[in-house]
Structure 1
Amino acid sequence: MRITRDLKKRRFWAKLSTQTFAAFGLLSAGAGVTDALIPGSLAPVGGFLLIAVAIASVIYGLIRAWPRPVQQSYSSPSTEIYITEGDLFGQDGHVVIGMTDTFDTAIPHIIDQNSVQAQLLKRAYLGDTQRLDDDLNKALEGKPSAGAFQPADSKPGKQNRYQLGTVAVLEPAIRKLYFCVAYTKMNKRNEARATVDGIWRCLNSLWDEVRARSNGEPVSMGVIGGGQARISQHLPPQDAVRLTAMSFMFASREERVTSRLNIVVRPEVARDLDMLELQAFLKSLRPS
């Protein structure tokens, strides 16, 4: 369980100790002032009072340090960020899907069958690859091209490339949009690659599209940079979550993007995240 994992974190015990000693100090100071103003008044209950102050301090420390859902509300701009463990496709509102610059869809020969994109095909398009390709082609009409592979490249799958940060907005169901953003480059061997700088620029393009199309409704996305992006050694999940949250807040300060961003973490990834540290990071993003 997530709470069990958080209780093992150093940050939890540090906060528990700090809050407990702070409460103990405040209550002890109050008792000292009372004894100074009314000498001897606390003598009959001195031992009991010490125990009560200690218990109350520990309870206060637990209340303040106990792990809570990782979320932060912001007043300027009016928006929220949630970091939650669960199913990306089970969230309310719209969904962000990471794709390559070729928008390949062939599963499993090109696209990993365990990827978010594979889940898009299965759950939003019921396995209908042709319908997904038709919707992608329609959404990509007029988008700037970045060239195409040559016949000598012998690349399987799609040949046309689009600029990194290109967003194809799909609507296979009413009132639920899928923002398919190209944040990795595909080579002729169908190996996808990404860079931290490229991801940052792609996120900026994504927020522009979300701002224009989401109508302010919540948007959910997974942890970027893992899987076929082959960048996890440079951008581990903890840093990827922070990068996403920071990019979203910077864009929101320019102009509100949406009412809430959900960063949805798979259970196997959540085990390695320090949720208490992420909560502190979200809090630090509030305007000073």
Structure 2
Amino acid sequence: MTFRAFRDVKRLRFWRSFTNHVFACLGVVAFLFGLYDVLRPNIISKIHFPLAVAIVFIAVIYASIRSYPRSIEETYSKPNTTIRIVEGDLFAQLDNVVVGMTNTFDTQIPHIINPGSVQGQFLAVVYANDVSALDAELARGLISVTPTSQVQKPGKTTRYPIGTVVAIRQARKHYFCVAYGEMNSVNQAQATMDGIWRSLENLWREVRARTNGDPVAIPVIGGGLARLSQILPAQDSIRFIAMSFMFASRQTRVCDRLDIVVRPQDVERLDMLELQAFLTSLKET
């Protein structure tokens, strides 16, 4: 928290907020002392310098407290839900978890799926690298889904619609496997903004149906193997996810809380104060 706070105080948004709070505090204090001076003339003028120093000191302390970077979260009343931006390990969260996949639902590592990706971590942490067990769960979830096409490539060759969601329950948690990218013939995953938006819409629908309102954790999506990092960098991806969640929640409440989990190595690129301002802007006025 200390390192992030040091980084955030270098942002223009912090100093804009700090300056506004300083002048607001000075204005209120000056008004009160001005009123006191009208009622009790010639008292304040005798101690004007020490008093001026004290007022400035109080204003600086007040502005620092009000502007100091805190945990990034916002609670909404309509709907009754919360969005948090959390730094850490997605699979260390106690919430239900979203796992991004491609529309072939490939699972083989390392040549098709990167072991360091969210999907690779899912296989390692939840299934202890038991590919057969994960494939069996995915196959059960896809029984009722009509494939869209076949692709000739190493690994799985059946394509399902973009936005397909397979919900897997393990150890009292749901893992929502969402196909937001398309796998081509050389096992390169690609995604589009439209496909990600459609996938998120389907995801929120599935979360409503299965979690009974329990919190959900989702990683920052759109970069890496999805080849959208230039179009949808992490900062924009977080806003994209939050906006989609709020649009869906205003139709019908999705869950108690959404945690958008950011990897520690990605936090440096984010303007957390701007993200807090964005989450606040999603409140109904």
Provide TM-score, normalisation by structure 1: 0.97
User: Does residue 223 of structure 1 match 2:225?
Assistant: no
Matched residues in 2 for 1:192 and 1:214: separation? 29
Cα drift, residue 41 of structure 1: 2.0
User: Does residue 195 of structure 1 match 2:192?
Assistant: yes
Give 2:239's aligned amino acid.
R
Give 2:181's aligned amino acid.
T
The DSSP-based 3-state class of the residue aligned with 1:58 is helix
What does residue 82 of structure 2 align with?
80
Matched residues in 1 for 2:243 and 2:105: separation? 26
Tell me the alpha carbon deviations over residues 229-281 of structure 1, each in whole angstroms, 9 at most, x when there is no partner. Answer: 00010011000000000000000000000000000000111100000000000
Tell me the alpha carbon deviations over residues 100-155 of structure 1, each in whole angstroms, 9 at most, x when there is no partner. Answer: 00000000110111100000000000110000000100111101211212xxx3x0
What does residue 249 of structure 1 align with?
246
1:16-95 equivalence runs, <5 A = 16-95=18-97
Instruction: Select 2:105's aligned residue among 100, 103, 106.
Output: 103
Give 1:133's aligned amino acid.
D
Instruction: Select 2:232's aligned residue among 231, 235, 241.
Output: 235
Gaps of 5+ in 2: none
What does residue 161 of structure 1 align with?
159
User: Does residue 132 of structure 1 match 2:129?
Assistant: no
Matched residues in 1 for 2:148 and 2:61: separation? 60
What does residue 272 of structure 1 align with?
269
What does residue 6 of structure 2 align with?
4
Matched residues in 2 for 1:5 and 1:144: separation? 49
Give 1:206's aligned amino acid.
L
User: Does residue 123 of structure 1 match 2:122?
Assistant: no
The DSSP-based 3-state class of the residue aligned with 1:262 is strand
The DSSP-based 3-state class of the residue aligned with 2:148 is strand
The DSSP-based 3-state class of the residue aligned with 1:95 is strand
The DSSP-based 3-state class of the residue aligned with 1:190 is coil
Give 1:169's aligned amino acid.
A
The DSSP-based 3-state class of the residue aligned with 1:261 is strand
What does residue 278 of structure 2 align with?
281
What does residue 186 of structure 1 align with?
183
Matched residues in 2 for 1:264 and 1:2: separation? 15
Cα drift, residue 17 of structure 1: 0.8
The DSSP-based 3-state class of the residue aligned with 2:66 is helix
Matched residues in 2 for 1:172 and 1:125: separation? 9
Cα drift, residue 62 of structure 1: 0.5
Matched residues in 2 for 1:50 and 1:40: separation? 15
Cα drift, residue 162 of structure 1: 0.5
Cα drift, residue 163 of structure 1: 0.3
Provide TM-score, normalisation by structure 2: 0.98
Cα drift, residue 12 of structure 1: 0.6
Question: Is the Cα contact below 8 Å between 1:125 and 1:172 reproduced in 2?
Answer: no
Cα drift, residue 92 of structure 1: 1.4
Matched residues in 1 for 2:229 and 2:95: separation? 27
Give 1:272's aligned amino acid.
R
The DSSP-based 3-state class of the residue aligned with 1:216 is coil
Instruction: Select 2:205's aligned residue among 192, 205, 208.
Output: 208
Matched residues in 1 for 2:4 and 2:148: separation? 43
Tell me the alpha carbon deviations over residues 158-196 of structure 1, each in whole angstroms, 9 at most, x when there is no partner. Answer: 0111001000111232x1010000000000100000111
Matched residues in 2 for 1:43 and 1:227: separation? 65
